[in-house]
Amino acid sequence: MNILVTGANGFIGKNLVTTLKSNQQYNILEIDKGATPSELDQAVLQADFIFHLAGVNRAFNESEFFEGNKELTQRITTVLIAHEKSTPILFTSSIQVSDVNAYGKSKLSAEAALQRYAEQNLAKVYIYRLPNVFGKWARPYYNSVVATFCYQIARDEPIWIKDSNLVLNLVYIDDVVHHFLEILHDSYHKSGLLTVTPIYSLTLGELANTLTAFKDSRQTQEVIQTDNLLIKKLYSTYLSYLPENELGYPLLMHKDTRGAFTEFIKTSNRGQFSINYCKPGITKGNHWHHTKVEKFLVVSGRGCVRLRSLFSHEILEYEVNGDDLKVIDIPVGYTHHIENTGETDLIVIIWCNECYDEQHPDTYPLEV
């Protein structure tokens, strides 16, 4: 199946093309700014389906909008009409078609050309009037405030907000591509004006605060709430704009002669994860908790976890090693420790149901 994608090197085009290329049943015909009119005509005639994503949304003069939106679309439909083809076309329009600016008018004219083609050639035309689209590979300082803010905040550059209460309506690039592929795979899908869902709404101020919190999380170790889909998608987008030489960041290691303890991840409602290094022959712990519970997972080395109820003399022992992963639950009211019984460092991942609070540590020394 030959699939033509105009605007293949643009933001939406890149995401769509990379997804389509993962399916080897498609032959992707990519057309972008550098293509000649004859190359476009040839690709249009070869195509079994057309994703018409190319267009102009920034211009020095109004005529460029009509050349890049209306006239380009008319060229595609004219070729198809002349050859009596009824190739399905999916077109990315804009919510600005109802505005009285040149960009909106040019997109509305392009829609009209497609509708005439659909009626004359009995072809299916799918028109998406997209709001603000965000996600990876959008160009900063172009037409995506999310991309611009992500880029600036990741580089400690100042951001400018005229109205922090301005509400943005956003759709995520992966959701856009998902909808497009549904159209491609379902030949019975109703044509006409279509909408991408879900649409998310937030203010410019909320966007700036959210992205700033993502940046600060490297110091706080706080991670996002993945059950909030907008936050999850914004975080994935933000990370895609990190400078390539700053993907790594250090953690504070609390070191002594026994080994080291490092807090890795903290959450507001799921506790925290830490990494504990223990030298050979060293025992760590010998304390208990009222409410705090932990899970120990040895990922390297060999050791022994020992626990004892406060009301018993019986000691429970669990042999652990990095070659046979086993989680040990540490209940409340049990004093406990872990001993490195091997000849190499013992490395333990620890989950705790609450983040460490220096004022209320809930930790009471007691030998096992």
Provide the residue ranges of all domains of the chain, joining segments of one domain with +: 2-130, 134-171+200-249, 253-365
Q: Which of 26, 103, 334, 356 is catalytic?
A: 103
CATH of domain 2-130: 3.40.50.720
Q: What is the rounded distance in angstroms from the CA atom of residue 33 to the CA atom of residue 316?
A: 71
Strand, helix or coil at 275? strand
Averaged over 185-197, what is the pLDDT? 86
CA atoms within a 13 Å half-sphere pointing along the CA-CB vector of 135: 18
pLDDT exceeds 90 at position 268: no
pLDDT exceeds 70 at position 260: yes
CA atoms within a 13 Å half-sphere pointing along the CA-CB vector of 219: 4
Q: Give the per-residue pLDDT at 98.
A: 81
pLDDT above 90: percentage of residues in the chain: 83
Give the max Cα distance, the chain: 92
Is it true that 2-130 and 134-171+200-249 share their CATH fold? yes
Closest CA to 55 of 32, 80, 29, 78: 32
Q: Give the per-residue pLDDT at 165.
A: 97
Strand, helix or coil at 265? strand
pLDDT exceeds 80 at position 65: no
pLDDT exceeds 80 at position 321: yes
Q: What is the mean pLDDT of the chain?
A: 94
134-171+200-249, what's its fold? Rossmann fold (3.40.50)
Report the sign of the C-alpha dihedral through residues 340, 345, 350, 356, in that order.
positive
Choosing among 2.60.120.260, 2.40.40.20, 2.60.120.10, 3.20.20.140, the CATH entry for 253-365 is 2.60.120.10
Q: Give the per-residue pLDDT at 292.
A: 97
Report field, pTM of the whole predicted structure over 0.85: yes
Annotated catalytic, 103?
Answer: yes
Q: Give the per-residue pLDDT at 284.
A: 97
Averaged over 277-296, what is the pLDDT? 97
For tokens 């077109």, the residue is 91
